[in-house]
Amino acid sequence: MEKKNIDWSNLGFGYIETEKRFVSNYKNGAWDEGALVSDSMITMSECAGVLQYAQTVFEGMKAYTTEDGRIVTFRPDLNAARMEDSCKRLQMPVFPQDKFIEAVSQVVEANAAYVPPYGSGATLYLRPYMFGSSPVIGVKPAEEYQFRIFATPVGPYFKGGVKPLTIKVSDFDRAAPNGTGHIKAGLNYAMSLHAIVTAHEEGYDENMYLDPKTRTKVEETGGANFLFITKDNKVVTPKSSSILPSITRRSLMQVAKDYLGLEVEEREVYVDELENFAECGLCGTAAVISPVGKVVNHGKEICFPSGMNDMGPVTKKLYDTLTGIQMGRIEAPEGWIHVIK
């Protein structure tokens, strides 16, 4: 199979239309078989649930080319399970988890020419999503839904690759105490747009959101969880019921413990203790692990000892081990790597 003529190493995190996407429709209480289609356009009612009341959820995952030339995905079962949780919270029908994984494989295989080559620094980003497609005008769930998956080749999420980021402690909240912060609903991202545009205008790379109830604890950014490294090399990550349970973060905590022999702790992290940490990073499918050099809390600068030029040494080890597992250089724990071809 001939790869597309794309400048893989210079890709940013953007949308490039690929050849095939998976589409399945839910009508009269059941999903149809679903199929790969070529048309990237969607036609639906002007009154669709997604358009009026934001009834939509999504996932983010990647396909990788391994060192030995296979194409794989990373823990797609966890994306399928998380999408189920998201759907239930927004009163949407669940797309069966086994069919989700099968559809992911079909989309990757059909777009194999767009899976970036090993070593290019790029990957094929996959975006499964579902939305209410039938008309609703009174506030209630739609009756019909569409589930789709498209693929697009991507490079690093943050411009500048692995250069440490500067983060602003945001005055906006991303989630409500008993709201939807723990699921992957489009509405969580819509309401973060003003905050991210404001942060960018002020020269920051991202926002640190605080817990919406007390505004004293670290939650996450608009698209990634936080990891901190203590001065004695413990890996700490915030525990909260209003953040997205990142698959990358859950995997990294296991990697830290089982591969690197580090102590790990998931606990509440107070903004006031940030200055005690040696390293800080953001983790997620898009972010992979992006180092944070500085957090600015209303004019007070917290500069991590790892500095503004390089990833901290423990963060780097975590990064190398995780990406090594994803690209087949390091043996993966049982069930983590799903081989497509």
Active site residues: 184
Q: How far is the CB of 211 from ligand PLP (least distance, A)?
A: 14
Using the rule CB under 6 A, give the single segment among 44-52, 101-109, 283-291, 331-339 that binds ligand COI: 283-291
Nearer to ligand COI, 284 or 312 (CB): 284
Using the rule CB under 6 A, give the single segment among 64-72, 106-114, 193-201, 284-292 that binds ligand COI: 284-292
Nearer to ligand COI, 114 or 262 (CB): 114
Structure tokens at 85: 């949780």
Structure tokens at 135: 């008309």
Q: Is 286 in the site for ligand COI (CB under 6 A)?
A: yes
CA–CA separation, 287 and 157 (whole Å): 6
Q: How many residues bind ligand COI (CB under 6 A)?
A: 5
Rg, Å, the chain Cα set = 20
CA–CA separation, 75 and 113 (whole Å): 22
Residue 326 interface partner, choices ligand PLP, ligand COI, none, CB cut-off 5-8 Å depending on type? none
Q: Is 247 in the site for ligand COI (CB under 6 A)?
A: no
Applying CB under 6 A, the residues found at the interface with ligand PLP are: 60, 220, 223-225, 244, 246-249, 284-285
Q: How far is the CB of 137 from ligand PLP (least distance, A)?
A: 30
Q: Is 223 in the site for ligand COI (CB under 6 A)?
A: yes
For residue 38, which phi and psi values (nearest 5 degrees)?
A: -95, -25
Q: Is 130 in the site for ligand COI (CB under 6 A)?
A: no
Nearer to ligand COI, 156 or 223 (CB): 223
Nearer to ligand PLP, 284 or 312 (CB): 284
**β partners of residue 280:** 228, 292
Structure tokens at 336: 């983590």
Q: Is 281 in the site for ligand COI (CB under 6 A)?
A: no
Using the structure block, give the residue that is written with the tokens 């309401």.
191
Q: How far is the CB of 60 from ligand PLP (least distance, A)?
A: 4
- Asked if residues 289 and 162 have their Cβ atoms less than 8 Å apart, the reply is no
For ligand COI, the binding residue among 285, 306, 315, 321 (CB under 6 A) is 285
Q: How far is the CB of 225 from ligand PLP (least distance, A)?
A: 5
Integer CA distances (angstroms), 111 to 16, 23, 27, 123, 286, in order: 12, 15, 28, 12, 19
CA–CA separation, 112 and 323 (whole Å): 20
Cα–Cα nearest to 287, from 318, 331, 241: 318
Q: How far is the CB of 249 from ligand PLP (least distance, A)?
A: 6
- Asked if residues 31 and 96 have their Cβ atoms less than 8 Å apart, the reply is yes
Residue 135 interface partner, choices ligand COI, ligand PLP, none, CB cut-off 5-8 Å depending on type? none
CB atoms within 10 A of CB 12: 11
Residue 246 interface partner, choices ligand PLP, ligand COI, none, CB cut-off 5-8 Å depending on type? ligand PLP
Q: How far is the CB of 318 from ligand COI (least distance, A)?
A: 17
Cα–Cα nearest to 83, from 92, 74, 72: 92
Give the nearest residue (CB) to ligand COI: 60
Structure tokens at 86: 């998201």
Outline where the chain has alpha helix (H). 49-53, 76-89, 97-110, 186-190, 193-201, 247-258, 313-326
Q: How far is the CB of 43 from ligand PLP (least distance, A)?
A: 28
Nearer to ligand COI, 134 or 192 (CB): 192
Positions 16 through 75 that interact with ligand COI (CB under 6 A): 60
The per-residue b/e assignment along 100-138, b for 16 or more CB within 10 angstroms, e otherwise, is bbebbbbbbbbbbebbbebebebbbbbbbbbbbbbbbee
For residue 301, which phi and psi values (nearest 5 degrees)?
A: -95, 125
Residue ranges in contact with ligand COI by CB under 6 A = 60, 223, 284-286
